[in-house]
Amino acid sequence: MDTNLVVVHTHFHNRRTGVTRSIENVLPELKKLCTTYLYGYCIEGEKISTSQLKKILFSKENIVVHCHRNNEILKMLWYRVLGAKFKLVATRHAETVPSGFTKLLLKKSDQVVTLTSSMHKTLGIPNVKVPHGVDTVFFSPNQKKDLKNIVQKNIILCAGRVRKAKGQKTLLEAVAPELQENKDWALVVVGKVDKPAFLEELKEVAKKNNVENQIYFIDETLDIVSYYQAATITVVPSFTEGFSLVCAEAMACGNTVVATKNVGVHSELITNLESGYLFNSGNTSELQKIVKSLMSKQLPQLGARARKEIEENWSAQKEAENLIRVY
């Protein structure tokens, strides 16, 4: 442990997101390497109060504050105005071009962290690439896991917020016709619904193909690991991602993952035909061909290779070690 280093991670957001899980994944590993605190709300973990934060920030310790959103950076910059001395690290979680205001805040940070190669190259601000890591003990295979609310024994999973940008409609249009021919398979979509009208579009695809009893819509859950463990295949059909923690977590749980090419970190995580399968976003026929071949076993399941890839290259331990270098 680096006893001279004190790190504070912040989380100011009213709902849980992939950013939330990424912080929760790496904190236990960081705590093994240095004194680490968590300040904020709507996140699991032992948190410090505002008075404790102030005491840390205005101490003479070697302090690093790691922020993940604009509002967090703003608050920490205010403490600097008041005289606090610390190193400010900010992670850019979105792959979209940052607004002028966001870019200004990132420039005021002492170090900027990006998550993917494309983000690292195109951000336009000096930065260090440190990909998210997965807790490979928590996110691990369990072939005996059953979901009591799912009748079918074979599960195709899609996890993440239910919105057009996540590509669930492409997935349903590709998979629904195959479910007609495979009654022992189910598609399970897990995530918070942004707009009810879009959910109705998805349900209409299921109804049109007469597979309503094989497609399940599950609300956001803290027990997402059980769904990974019960699934055989996970599809990540997103048109855009900041990182794509779902892809990494599913691989860690031994799923065969089918994900969109060159979106988020998909093409870095997955070597096509070796540790998973890649397809072009929005290409329903290409996705359908892959899923159909997996269901009929014409293509091999690659869950074991996916798990090995995460263990060797994408663990939370490795992320923590890389962050310590940044700090």
Confidence of residue 2 (pLDDT cuts 50, 70, 90): low
Confidence of residue 19 (pLDDT cuts 50, 70, 90): very high
Do 154-312 and 2-130 have the same topology in CATH? yes
Mean pLDDT (the chain) is 96
Q: What share of the chain in percent tops pLDDT 70?
A: 99
- Please determine, for residue 249, whether its predicted confidence score (pLDDT) is greater than 70: yes
| CA proximity to 307, closest of 278, 277, 261, 275 | 275
**Which CATH code is given to the segment(s) 2-130?**
3.40.50
Domain boundaries defined on the chain: 2-130, 154-312
pLDDT (tens digit, 9 = 90+) per residue, 274-309?
999 999 999 999 999 999 999 999 999 999 999 999
Q: How far apart are CA 148 and CA 145, in angstroms?
A: 10
Q: What is the pLDDT of residue 315?
A: 96
Q: Other CB atoms closer than 10 Å to residue 23's CB: what's the count?
A: 22
Q: How far apart are CA 150 and CA 146, in angstroms?
A: 8
Q: Which SS3 state, helix, strand or coil, does residue 195 take?
A: coil
Burial of 195 (C-beta count, 10 Å sphere; 0-12/13-18/19+) = exposed
Q: What is the pTM of this model?
A: 0.90
Q: Other CB atoms closer than 10 Å to residue 52's CB: what's the count?
A: 13
Region 224-241 average pLDDT = 97
H helix runs in 134-283, sequence order: 168-181, 196-208, 224-230, 245-252, 266-269
Q: What is the pLDDT of residue 143?
A: 87
- 154-312: which CATH architecture? 3-Layer(aba) Sandwich (3.40)
Q: How far apart are CA 232 and CA 156, in angstroms?
A: 6
pLDDT (tens digit, 9 = 90+) per residue, 147-181?
988 999 999 999 999 999 999 999 999 999 999 99
DSSP 262: T
